[in-house]
Chains A and B, each alone.
Chain A
């Protein structure tokens, strides 16, 4: 794909195209943010997309398929992968945890912070006596070495 210089020149040559470009991209940035969970698309990203060019240069309006095109942008792809990983980790997907476990402990923590993973270990205050007792019994059926991490996970300590 070209770097969009020609396209920029064409847009710059006409006030009408400039206005349309502005309107279309503003909408795309807002929609993109919503669709991709917080990614802010840059104008440079949008210029790459065929849908943007068609929408600006023709009278056809923005095609609904633009989100699929945007999905292939590197920035969006990376972000979506991170979101998926975060969801997997939070839902206790074993494969994701195994992958994640291969990282060095320090790397694991900083990666988790980057992803904004929040552990399911909820505040102790939410624990009723019954659920605590259930977790404790389960916990005590584990080997002594494994008990503490289980207890931490379930907010017992």
Chain B
């Protein structure tokens, strides 16, 4: 009888004494996904119905194991403690979104569609754009592009947008050369409006990305690093563009200067002139150094970013 009572302890000691069995135990405790071969995880997921919680959980755990070890550890322990699917779903999404604030993962079911980043692009040829970005219609009107009703759908004519971009390129070039605010913000606004920032997150909407036949952003370390950089740059662009938009919509004097410069460029293009010097006023908050105003010593992220476009402008 005594021997029988001591059997479990003896068995555990024997298991831990053998290095392979000990490793198997600790792997079963901390890293259970290790026992699911990669092929099995893929087959298991793609072979199941889309909303199957078990398949979604296994797929999410596989991704977390590779990329988010802290999330993986917490999720495994939650499962061991009997957490429901909804609790697990919330834990994984919240923790990943906290680590990557620009992600908008709402459920682990969506992880199969790739990394869920925010897309900021404006589709000027989309009829929905008129409702989504009414300010864009207002700005494009300054360039002479007005939405028209074609075959029952109100949208921009492609040729009008193209002509507007030809003018806008010169305006951007002039703003970039100024190398100061608020010109940098205005340049970013126009680059965003015409999808020309060269940042994919800013130049594409999700629909344009998906319909363009481009692959979903795969869950890999390399993509995460690239996305983090792209998202940080996108934030600078969008922040600057929105400040520029506020300026144009809220300051009539600045808007008048903006329109005047657009007309100057358009006339120069018509006359075949290649070099036009534009004058850009200071922003409403700026005062000249001659007034004794203290300038901010911190580099302005928007101005620094716009310098990347300077080579093209020169």
A-B interaction: no
